Structure 1
Amino acid sequence: MELQEVSERSAAIRKAYHELEREYHGSEWSAEEDALAFLTDAGLVGRLTMSHEGRWPSDAEDRLPSKIGECVWWLAVLADRAGLDFADCVQQFLADTEQALK
């Protein structure tokens, strides 16, 4: 899957969640709330990874692939909300890091 497709599908899913937020809470989450939700899920990836490696007791280890995917989704959403192109963000990071490691 191309990162552009990830961005487009992520935006469509986020739009659907915004509709639910308006229905249940009267307003959409802010970019800051989205960032906090991402950080929460990133923390869960840490715990689920520890569980996967036998370093943290959990019966939810099977959720690790989904949580990793959700974190990527959140990053695409956050890039979009900041007016950034997700694919460009990833490309620039990779290029900069590869150059720094030469």
Structure 2
Amino acid sequence: MGHTDFDEIIRRCLALRKQYHKLELHHHGSEWTVEEDALAYLTDAGLVGRNVMSQQARWPKTNSQSELEHKLGENIWWLIVLANRSGIDIKKALSDFLTKTEALINA
């Protein structure tokens, strides 16, 4: 996959989330709440940890590289979705975090 602009990534993430909302309506009669999205993110974050352990031969499971790549991407997707649903500009949040943390590290 070639380099993709972060704005395009955000657009695609939010469009995909809208598609999942349609499935939630179909299967459950309502869209997931922000809290349910947060819980799903935390579940996937835990799976990143397990897949890293597997990749590093610290957990007895094989072929974790593709699962790890998928879960890392999925976790970024969830963070973009959660920021959007919380009224937070993820690009600004990331930039502000980097600026603040760089200043603290370089102080």
TM-score between the two structures when normalised by the length of structure 1: 0.95
1:2 aligned partner, one-letter code = D
* Runs of 4+ more than 6 Å apart: none
RMSD, aligned α-carbons = 1.0
- The reply on whether 1:86 has 2:51 as its aligned counterpart is no
Name the counterpart of 1:66: 70
Kept in 2, the 8 Å contact 1:21–1:28? The answer is yes
1:26 aligned partner, one-letter code = G
Question: Post-superposition shift, 1:57?
Answer: 1.1
Task: State the identity as a percent.
Answer: 50
1:67 aligned partner, one-letter code = K
2:25 aligned residue (22, 30, 33): 22
**What CA deviation, in whole Å up to 9, does each residue of 1:38-86 have, x standing for no partner?**
0000000000001111111113503000100000000000000001111
Question: Does 8-17 or 54-63 show the bigger shift?
Answer: 54-63
Contiguous gaps of at least 5 residues in structure 2 = none
2:85 aligned partner, one-letter code = R
Aligned partners of 1:90, 1:2: CA distance in 2, in Å?
Answer: 15
- The reply on whether 1:11 has 2:7 as its aligned counterpart is no
Aligned length: 102
Kept in 2, the 8 Å contact 1:4–1:86? The answer is no
1:37 aligned partner, one-letter code = A
- The reply on whether 1:96 has 2:85 as its aligned counterpart is no
TM-score between the two structures when normalised by the length of structure 2: 0.91
